[in-house]
Structure 1
Amino acid sequence: MNQTTQLPDRRPARAGSGATVITPPPVRTRARRGPSSQQWAAWGFLTPVTLYLVLFYAYPLWRNIDLSLRNYTVRSFVHGDAPFTGLENYLTVLDDPVFAQALLHTAVFTVACLVFQYAFGLVLAVFFKQHFPLSATLRALFLVPWLLPLIVSASTWSWMLNSDSGIVNAALHAVGIDPVNWLTSPSWSLISVIIANIWIGVPFNLVVLYSGLQSIPTALYEAAALDGANAWQRFWRITFPLLRPVSAITLLLGLVYTLKVFDIIWIMTKGGPADSSTTFATWSYQLGFGNALPAFGPGAAVGNLLVVAALVFGLIYLKVQRKQNAS
């Protein structure tokens, strides 16, 4: 098969110049191709996710920020002519005497729920790893609190902790202990909602931590047993350190969820009595919708404080995770 090769043009220059002019070969330009089928497929999968994030995350967040920076009333909320006030709503929230109580209750509620949910979940995960008869059935029953609608769980706990007809006070009376005003006493209302939320969150910790335990090789436990390590030493030297990545993501997700818990507290105590169980989530709702004259701006400002808190803890987790991966 004959092929024609185009060589550079070596034509002599003008007479007497003694130089040879070399003409470069013509440059061939390639026609631009459109997106490939893989690129179209990538955009096809990315577009629905992007639309979902914009419609259900970005727009509500932007709308909430706009609410917190304007003086919205019922009329201006409908017509959209609220005046811009800057950080005035945030200053109003910070000067409110309820702010310190809500901040303290949010911190106590979040820390107590995280600690006990993780501790109970870890104990149950280690317990179910033993693979005894009916372990799978019993583990499935522990998931019931997590699967129930929150309104059902909160209503059930409200009935159980009722001061007059609750089963908890009936049991205390049966053993000679005076009844407790769980939901109507300022000293017990926050503890009551903490107990209910712990009961709801333990199954999530159980599922995630149990999955993490399955990834730990059994050969490590066998080698430790041959070296004379008892069960407690095997837990602290093998199980707990190797569960650190799973524990970190479990605590982070639990933190984000617990910060925004609203329905459990609102159904059981409505943040009372006397704001004794008010958190940022319930306070934000009460400011925006719970009063005769709704304060949309301050309510949105409190909600944004919750978003910032969750974002800060998320960034801290990412930084710690990067340090662990680098080491």
Structure 2
Amino acid sequence: MTTTGTAVSADPANPAAAAAPPGPTGRPGRGRLFQWLFIAPALLYMAAFFGYPLVRNIVMSFQHFTPTTYFTGEAPFNGLDNWRAVLSDQLFTDALWHTAVFTAGSLLGQFTIGLALAVFFSRRFPLSGLVRAVLLLPWLVPMVVSAVVWRRILDQEHGILNTALQAAGLVQDGPPWLSSPSTALFATILVNIWIGIPFNMVILYGGLQEIPRELYEAASLDGASAWRTFRSVTLPVLRPVITVVLVLGFMSTVKILDLILALTSGGPADSTHTLGTVTYQLSFLQLDFGRGAVVGNVLILISAVFAVLYLRANRADFGQGK
């Protein structure tokens, strides 16, 4: 029997015909269509729940948007009036500075203490698992509950902290932790550090467990001290994890609202107002949604800048890993 259908492609005397690719069948286009179909639900979800609110917030910042707008549907454009009003307001300038101080102080304290605890717990000892579990409690408790508890602790007259300081003879009159403009922001930073330490500890502890033990053994054979080993081995290998911790910590800290509202409500004398609390005050207390959208857009812009820096840092780390 002879088969004529494959005679040309199987003919050894015709190598060009044997090497020729099969004719177009439409499969590449069909495969690309299936790829888009698979990611279409995610794209629709992001467009509906992220893209539309973002665009709507930007448009609202250029409108005179009031509660009556929800009934009349009329929100006339007022150009840059909202932006001028917000950027020229001293409260916004102070809130921007408070946000920077609050975020930087919180990240520094959370990361430093979290890294120290992660290094400490990387060495096995009895009951280490139990102690780690106890240290996770601040992370598991709702932030509002933590804020209410700390507000009682930091109360000037009846707080347990001032009572303990007076009993130890360290102070005569308890410091006004939350009732003085000079100490309120510092107190809120300390509370936020306490809340964020477990997150930093857990993520950094996981990163430390992934460092090969051979690197430490090689450093020990070279005679490196503990500090030199930490600086030359631990930190460079842990850099991608540190980047993730700092960026995620920044994204969650820069927009904090409930903690400050429960502790000080932005006071005293606006000394603890941040961009998040100013947005809340303009939008939901003064019902000036246009100006509130402006502050929200500034907050989104700041977060977007750090998100880009995070992606660039990850790309750089990936390139070094290759």
Whether these two folds match at TM > 0.5 is yes
Distance 1:289 1:168 in 2: 34
Distance 1:179 1:5 in 2: 97
AA paired with 2:117? Answer: L
Alpha-carbon deviation of 1:35?
8.3
What per-residue deviation string (whole Å, max 9, x for no partner) do you get for residues 59-87 of structure 1? 22122112211111110133321001232
Alpha-carbon deviation of 1:223?
1.9
Distance 1:288 1:280 in 2: 12
Alpha-carbon deviation of 1:32?
4.8
AA paired with 1:268? Answer: L
TM-score, normalization: structure 1?
0.86
Change (3 A) 1:101 1:131: same
Residue number in structure 2 paired with 1:207:
202
Asked if 1:175 is matched to 2:177, the reply is: no
Residue number in structure 2 paired with 1:13:
none
AA paired with 2:305? Answer: V
Alpha-carbon deviation of 1:219?
1.3
Structure 2 SS opposite 1:2? coil
> Which has the higher Rg, Structure 1 or Structure 2?
1
Distance 2:92 2:26 in 1: 61
Distance 1:156 1:108 in 2: 23
2:298 to 293, 302, 305: 305
Alpha-carbon deviation of 1:128?
0.4
Residue number in structure 1 paired with 2:3:
3
Alpha-carbon deviation of 1:44?
6.5
1:76 to 33, 45, 69: 69
Residue number in structure 2 paired with 1:197:
192
What per-residue deviation string (whole Å, max 9, x for no partner) do you get for residues 142-188 of structure 1? 11111111111111111111122111111111122120111111111
AA paired with 2:155? Answer: N
Give the number of the structure whose residues are more often helix, by fraction: 2
In structure 1, stretches of 5+ residues that fail to align are 8-27
In structure 2, stretches of 5+ residues that fail to align are 8-21
Distance 2:6 2:166 in 1: 105
Structure 1 SS opposite 2:55? helix
Asked if 1:66 is matched to 2:59, the reply is: yes
Distance 1:205 1:58 in 2: 30
Structure 2 SS opposite 1:243? helix
Change (3 A) 1:156 1:45: farther
Distance 1:255 1:90 in 2: 25
1:229 to 224, 228, 236: 224
Change (3 A) 1:296 1:249: same
Alpha-carbon deviation of 1:51?
3.4
Alignment of 1:92-171 (within 5 A): 92-171=85-164
Change (3 A) 1:138 1:45: farther
Supply the RMSD in Å over aligned alpha carbons: 2.4
Is the CA contact (8 Å cut-off) linking 2:58 and 2:297 kept in structure 1? yes
Q: Percent identity among equivalent residues?
A: 47
AA paired with 2:288? Answer: A
Residue number in structure 1 paired with 2:10:
none
Alpha-carbon deviation of 1:49?
2.6
Alpha-carbon deviation of 1:54?
2.4
Task: Give the number of aligned pairs.
Answer: 304
Residue number in structure 1 paired with 2:42:
49
What per-residue deviation string (whole Å, max 9, x for no partner) do you get for residues 21-47 of structure 1? xxxxxxx9866569879975x566534
Asked if 1:259 is matched to 2:257, the reply is: no
Distance 1:78 1:325 in 2: 52
Alpha-carbon deviation of 1:89?
1.1
Residue number in structure 2 paired with 1:284:
279
What per-residue deviation string (whole Å, max 9, x for no partner) do you get for residues 239-288 of structure 1? 11211111011111111111101100011101111110000000010011
1:250 to 224, 245, 251: 245
Distance 2:225 2:91 in 1: 51
